[in-house]
Copies of this chain bind each other. A is one copy, B any other.
Amino acid sequence: MTEPVKFKCVAIIGVGLIGSSLACAMRKRGLTDQIIGVDCDEGVLARAKKIGVIDDGETSLEKGVSGADLIVLSTPVGVMSDVCKALSAAADDGALIIDVGSVKGSVAKAAAALPERLHFVPCHPVAGTEQSGPEAGFASLFEDRWCILTPLVRDDEPYKAAVKRAEGLWAGVGAQVEVMDAAHHDLALAVTSHLPHLIAFTLVGAADDVESVAHGEVIKYSAGGFRDFTRIAASDPIMWRDVFLANKDAVLEVLGRFSEELAVMQRAIRWSDGKALEDAFARGRSLRRAIVDAGQEMDAPNFGRDKKER
């Protein structure tokens, strides 16, 4: 068991869904004395303060991170390298820095350029919803979900202690922690997250493009299966643009596998090969069973997604 840890002051850079969920979770579990939000948008900070997600807001990164012993990067992946550069002078000695980005290779590269006095532990909590902004955050988002850590190749004791603190933080907000290297993370998540999102975005686009089927019909008959795709296709366009730009190679690799498999299905339909279709379709049930058994999904009509308290 990893010990839960406690921080004096956490600076959340990017007070969106994930940043504010972590803020809420840390507050609820008593893991920090103070929470400062850092965001370019004053309006976002004001809203986040009003609903009690942060204690104070700062548009200046330098001011916002000064005094923080934990700094959380929860912006889209594409700006993390710039934020990292700004932190190299601004962050306090010995500060633990984590990010929550969906891609780890690119973040790890930026993190490795930081001075040794700062301890950046790249993290990815595999949990989320299709919503954005501070209002979307809720304290239980990370409970029973996995958080993957991809520590830098550094074996000095302060860094090793920082990795332990990062593990303790995630365990403290209810997540299960896994450690792996960034390249493996990026391939595994290309399979379980990036490709599914790409496919959902693509399907939604293609559906709206069949001229002889009206837009209104796509909406009316969406309960036939289509609506399940629209949930994840409603995710933030900028966040996802950054994911695909940052994880290009792995995404293209798994996309190649998908296209092969799709060609096989297409052929089975064209040749009316019922046996091949039935066999391929039968895999779905067993995989879903395994996911439900692993507690990563519920078999209830509502998927267990009850309204969450902030």
Using a CB–CB cutoff of 8 Å, the interface residues on chain A facing chain B are: 102, 126-130, 145-146, 148, 178, 184, 187-189, 191-210, 212-213, 215, 217-235, 237-238, 240-242, 244-245, 248, 251-255, 257-262, 265-266, 269-270, 272, 274, 277-285, 287-291, 294, 296-297, 300-308
Which residues does chain B contribute within 8 Å of A197, judged by CB atoms?
225
Complex: A126 Cα to B304 Cα, angstroms: 23
Complex: A237 Cα to B279 Cα, angstroms: 8
Complex: A285 Cα to B230 Cα, angstroms: 8
Complex: A288 Cα to B217 Cα, angstroms: 13
Whether A302 pairs with B291 at a CB distance below 8 angstroms is no
Q: Look across to chain B and name the residue whose beta carbon is closest to the beta carbon of A301.
A: B305
Whether B204 pairs with A284 at a CB distance below 8 angstroms is yes
Q: Look across to chain B and name the residue whose beta carbon is closest to the beta carbon of A260.
A: B206
**Dominant SS among interface residues on chain A:** helix
Q: How far is the CB of A229 from chain B (nearest CB, A)?
A: 6
Whether B252 pairs with A266 at a CB distance below 8 angstroms is yes
Kindly report how many copies of this chain are found in the complex they form together.
Answer: 2
Complex: A178 Cα to B207 Cα, angstroms: 20
Whether A128 pairs with B288 at a CB distance below 8 angstroms is no
Q: Top 10 A-B pairs ranked by shortest CB distance?
A: A193-B224, A233-B284, A302-B302, A237-B281, A196-B225, A234-B288, A302-B305, A301-B305, A230-B288, A192-B221
Which residues does chain B contribute within 8 Å of A202, judged by CB atoms?
258, 261-262, 265, 280
- 9 pairs, CB–CB < 8 Å, chain A vs chain B: A189-B221, A192-B224, A194-B224, A227-B291, A227-B296, A230-B291, A233-B285, A240-B281, A241-B274
Q: How far is the CB of A211 from chain B (nearest CB, A)?
A: 10
Whether B306 pairs with A302 at a CB distance below 8 angstroms is yes
Q: Which of A148, A242, A255 gathers most chain B CB within 10 Å?
A: A255
With A210-B254, A301-B129 as known contacts, state yes or no: A259 contacts B261, CB within 8 Å: no
Complex: A244 Cα to B209 Cα, angstroms: 21
Which residues does chain B contribute within 8 Å of A220, judged by CB atoms?
126, 146, 178, 294, 296
Whether A265 pairs with B201 at a CB distance below 8 angstroms is yes
Whether A231 pairs with B191 at a CB distance below 8 angstroms is no
With A238-B278, A241-B278, A245-B277 as known contacts, state yes or no: A307 contacts B301, CB within 8 Å: yes
Q: How far is the CB of A310 from chain B (nearest CB, A)?
A: 12
With A188-B221, A208-B287, A219-B291 as known contacts, state yes or no: A297 contacts B241, CB within 8 Å: no
Whether A228 pairs with B226 at a CB distance below 8 angstroms is no
Complex: A252 Cα to B254 Cα, angstroms: 23
Which residues does chain B contribute within 8 Å of A240, judged by CB atoms?
277, 281
Whether A218 pairs with B191 at a CB distance below 8 angstroms is yes
Whether A219 pairs with B296 at a CB distance below 8 angstroms is yes
